[in-house]
């Protein structure tokens, strides 16, 4: 039954997308982040759902009156340079089936990132896309929260098969990235939508429980970082602080001893005979290898950099080879220091662009919500920066969506402010 329902929704969407491409953006985000076809049990699981919707979206976009330009803000320039550098490193490094598959996947994400950016031409469109992205991922936070409560925290929460965040660590970071977005979206609901506001607040509570239930050590650090930034940048600081003080001990004491023991391995005291577990020490080996590889190879090692040969060459004392376990060292190993610099600057300049939005909106009551959105998107970047330090999610499309949301918000805000100034100038000239 699920298969038929999802297929009908997709088939009905096709003619709408061809006429109204932005609707295709919403469907694409739904398919990308909720991967609903993976929740079915029959034929829809193996169908090329993403490819079909993607091609329809591209066709609708190309033949529509939608603007074909993207705002050339600084993050976009670095994004395009990074894309170019990834093409160079792909062709320079040895070819393999895995590398080709990864290159195709990454370039597809980049193409659709730019197409979506071109259509984020208003605050309403930015918010609609964020609604779909956030709720699609929050669905798994809701399920995970219920699972954690049912198992007393003893089970481990996992993400959906077929997506970027299938693993427990990846799901937890994804939930932390969309948490500030939900915080903003809730604030924009009409005051009389009391039950909707309460429902979103409850959903956010389940997300926090789900993050704890993932038993991810990186996510615990990310949770603390997000909480600190929300308190620093969000409204009602005293209310948020009071809620955190009350909720934190309850959540901490609810989790079982196995959770506390796992979280305790984040920091160890070797003077007391404590040691890192194999997963933590393995991460250090991977980072050591990545840094040495980037020092030796200008173009990095390509998408297949983390292999046995490179470990023998650049980390000879590592007991076994494994993946990067870090967005920073993943990009560094794959594309060298130049690629790492370009990738890092995408996010650094996005942060600066969000600051610019905040400055533009300062003192303007009618732009207060846009300033809050910029702050919450910065909080999402914080979640990615902290949590991603322990995960190989350097090409994840969700952080790129946060980047283009910031870029689009800056472009829209600048345009609105400039348009507001023009009538005043015309009126002043007429008076003189």
Mean pLDDT to the nearest integer, 341-360? 97
Supply the pLDDT for residue 323: 77
Kindly state the helix (H) or strand (E) to which residue 296 belongs, with its residue range.
helix 278-296
- Mean pLDDT, residues 235-244 taken together: 72
276 phi/psi in degrees, rounded to 5: -70, 150
> Residue 234's pLDDT is what?
74
- Contact indicator for 169, 233 with CB cutoff of 8 Å: no
Alpha carbon distance 258, 344 (integer Å): 36
Please determine, for residue 274, whether its predicted confidence score (pLDDT) is greater than 60.
Answer: no
- Checking if the pLDDT of 423 tops 70, the result is no
**Residue with more model confidence, 145 or 429:** 145
Residue 273: what pLDDT?
Answer: 45
Q: Which of 369, 386, 377 is nearest to 405 (CA)?
A: 377
* Share above pLDDT 70 across residues of the chain, in percent, rounded to a whole number: 91
DSSP assignment, residue 389? G
| pLDDT at residue 428 in the model | 53
Asked if pLDDT for residue 59 goes beyond 70, the answer is: yes
Decide if 174 contacts 401 (C-beta within 8 A): no
pLDDT digits (tens, 9 = 90+) for 179-212: 999 999 999 999 999 999 999 999 999 999 999 8
pLDDT digits (tens, 9 = 90+) for 105-152: 999 999 999 999 999 999 999 999 999 999 999 999 999 999 998 888
Angle between helical axes of 123-151 and 397-431 (0-180°, round to 10): 150
Instruction: For 216, list phi and psi in degrees, rounded to 5.
Output: -95, 125
Which of 72-86, 126-140, 222-236, 241-255 has the least mean pLDDT?
241-255
In eight-state DSSP terms, residue 161 is T
Where is average pLDDT lowest: 51-60, 274-283, 395-404, 405-414?
274-283
Query: What is the full DSSP assignment across 282-294?
Result: HHHHHHHHHHHHH
Question: Hunting for tokens 């003893």 — which residue is that?
Answer: 154
Residue 172 scores a pLDDT above 70: yes
| % pLDDT > 90, the chain | 57
Least confident of 47-51, 89-93, 272-276: 272-276
Candidate from 49-53, 199-203, 249-253, 294-298 with smallest mean pLDDT: 249-253
With cut-offs at 50, 70 and 90, classify the pLDDT of residue 236.
Answer: confident
Q: Give the Cα separation of 287 and 263 in Å (integer).
A: 21
pTM for the full predicted model? 0.91
User: Counting beta carbons within 10 angstroms of the beta carbon of residue 254, is it exposed (0 to 12), middle (13 to 18) or buried (19 or more)?
Assistant: middle
Average pLDDT (220-241) is 80
Does pLDDT of 427 surpass 70?
A: no
The answer to whether residue 329 scores a pLDDT higher than 80 is yes
Provide the pLDDT for residue 146. 93
Q: Tell me which of 3 and 90 has the higher pLDDT.
A: 90
pLDDT band at 280 (very low <50, low <70, confident <90, very high): low
Confidence band for 407, pLDDT divided at 50, 70 and 90: very high
């Amino acid at each position: 039954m699920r298969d038929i329902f999802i297929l009908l929704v997709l088939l009905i969407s096709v003619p709408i997308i061809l006429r109204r491409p932005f609707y295709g953006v919403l469907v694409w985000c739904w398919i990308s982040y909720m991967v609903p076809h993976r929740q079915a049990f029959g034929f829809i699981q193996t169908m090329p759902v993403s490819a079909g919707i993607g091609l329809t979206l591209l066709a609708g976009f190309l033949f529509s009156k939608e603007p074909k330009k993207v705002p050339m803000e600084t993050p976009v320039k670095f994004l395009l340079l990074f894309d170019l550098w990834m093409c160079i490193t792909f062709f320079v490094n040895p070819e393999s089936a895995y590398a080709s598959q990864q290159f195709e996947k990454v370039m597809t994400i980049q193409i659709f990132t730019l197409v979506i950016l071109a259509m984020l031409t208003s605050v309403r469109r930015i918010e609609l896309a964020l609604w779909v992205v956030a709720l699609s991922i929050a669905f798994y936070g809701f399920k995970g929260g219920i699972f954690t409560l049912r198992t007393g925290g003893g089970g481990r929460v996992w993400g959906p098969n077929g997506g970027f965040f299938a693993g427990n660590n990846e799901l937890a970071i994804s939930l932390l990235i969309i948490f500030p977005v939900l915080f903003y979206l809730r604030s924009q609901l009409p005051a009389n939508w009391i039950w909707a506001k309460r429902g979103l607040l409850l959903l956010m509570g389940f997300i926090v429980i789900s993050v704890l239930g993932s038993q991810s050590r990186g996510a615990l650090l990310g949770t603390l970082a997000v909480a600190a930034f929300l308190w620093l940048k969000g409204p009602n600081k005293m209310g948020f602080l009071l809620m955190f003080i009350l909720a934190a001990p309850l959540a901490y004491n609810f989790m079982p001893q196995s959770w506390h023991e796992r979280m305790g391995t984040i920091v160890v005291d070797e003077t007391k005979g404590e040691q890192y577990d194999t997963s933590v020490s393995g991460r250090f080996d991977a980072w050591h290898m990545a840094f040495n590889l980037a020092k030796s190879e200008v173009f990095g090692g390509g998408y297949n950099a983390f292999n046995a040969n490179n470990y023998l060459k650049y980390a000879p004392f590592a007991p076994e080879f494994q993946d990067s376990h870090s967005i920073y060292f993943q990009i560094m190993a794959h594309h060298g220091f130049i690629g790492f610099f370009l990738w890092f600057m995408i996010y650094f300049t996005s942060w600066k662009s969000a600051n610019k939005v905040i400055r533009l909106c300062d003192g303007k009551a009618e732009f207060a919500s846009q300033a809050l959105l910029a702050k919450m998107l910065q909080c999402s970047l914080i979640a990615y920066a902290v949590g991603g330090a322990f995960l190989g999610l350097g090409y994840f499309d969700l952080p790129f969506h946060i980047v283009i949301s910031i870029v689009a918000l800056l472009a829209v805000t600048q345009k609105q402010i400039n348009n507001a100034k023009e009538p005043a100038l015309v009126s002043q000239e007429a008076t003189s």
